[in-house]
Amino acid sequence: MTGRLIFCLFAASLAMGSASAATQAPIGPDPAADAALADVGYMHLHPDVEYRQLGLQSYRRGHHAVALDHFRRAGYFGDKPAQGLVAEMYWKGEGVAADRALAYVWMDLAAERGYRDLVGLRERYWAALSAAERQRALEQGAALYRVYGDPTVKPRYARRLQRLRNQITGSHIGTDVGVLAGQRDASGSVALTGGLYADANWNAEQYWQRQDRLWKLKLGGTVNVGDVEAMNPEGAVLSPPAESAPEDRTEPKVPPRPR
């Protein structure tokens, strides 16, 4: 299963831009596939994308433990495919001791936004778990959700985007490499509106909308609750208890970069 998901992500990294353009999506192509934006630090400013890509590089080179750390870090910033890859690696014991209960929790996190392929994997996991593994997954789920679930991740990432946008506005990033677009007002000032400064790169709501559109193209669309029940009537969907407050804890350690 890991190979299939890895293949999907490698294909996505090469083809998402053209696929989105072909469908004339209003949100636009994937900026991670734009070499000019990469040159001015887009991925470094968006660590969900950066660490997923670094994890894929490490995985391809056989550095599974390092890849797992990269995927965890990408998952901390809300990257659902990376969370799915963490799950697959725990399931198979790649770079870490196999732990099927923990793998299920990670895949449940990955399926949080309803991407069809990830939901399907989650249901297959649940069906394969023993009763003891299911119980342990239920016991472990809340703690991970408080850190990696969308109720924590999305506000945290919105704050990060706003902070970084404020830091780079008015700097020299991108001004000499032709990736900025803008409109000049009557005073001669230029309002930065495109390229690195496009709203969808910095407005959290637009950013997540674009991520959803791009991943729906590659991960089979989305499913609803009825679809999940039809797949596996006895399946469990984890969520943190109502009284459990989100945890915006210290970021995971930064893994070494692939060589």
Domain boundaries, the chain: 2-231
Give pLDDT, residue 176: 36
* Locus of tokens 């946008």: 165
Closest CA to 107 of 240, 241, 236, 251: 236
Q: Do 30 and 172 touch, CB atoms closer than 8 A?
A: no
**Per-residue exposure over 118-154, b if at least 16 CB sit within 10 Å of its own CB, e if not:** bbbbbbbbbeebeeebbebbeebbbebbbbbbbebbb
Rg (CA), the chain: 19
DSSP state, 81?
H
Q: 135-179 pLDDT, tens per residue?
A: 999 999 999 999 999 999 999 999 998 888 777 665 544 443 334
Residue 192: its H or E element? strand 190-192
Half-sphere exposure in the Cβ direction for 212 (13 Å, CA): 14
Q: Specify the pTM.
A: 0.73
Q: 87-128 pLDDT, tens per residue?
A: 999 999 999 999 999 999 999 999 999 998 899 999 999 999
CA distances to 84, 134, 258 from 237, rounded to whole Å, are: 15, 11, 35
* Whether residue 245 has pLDDT greater than 90: no
Q: What is the mean pLDDT of residues 206-215?
A: 88
Residue 85 carries which side chain, given as an amino acid letter?
Answer: L
Residue 38 carries which side chain, given as an amino acid letter?
Answer: A
> Regarding beta strands 190-192 and 182-184, do their DSSP bridges make them parallel or antiparallel, or are they unpaired?
antiparallel
**Alpha-helical runs (H) found in 196-242:** 199-202, 204-218, 225-231
In three-state secondary structure terms, 106 is helix
CA atoms of 204 and 157, how far apart (whole Å): 7
CA atoms of 139 and 80, how far apart (whole Å): 21
Q: Read off the pLDDT band of 67 (50, 70, 90).
A: very high
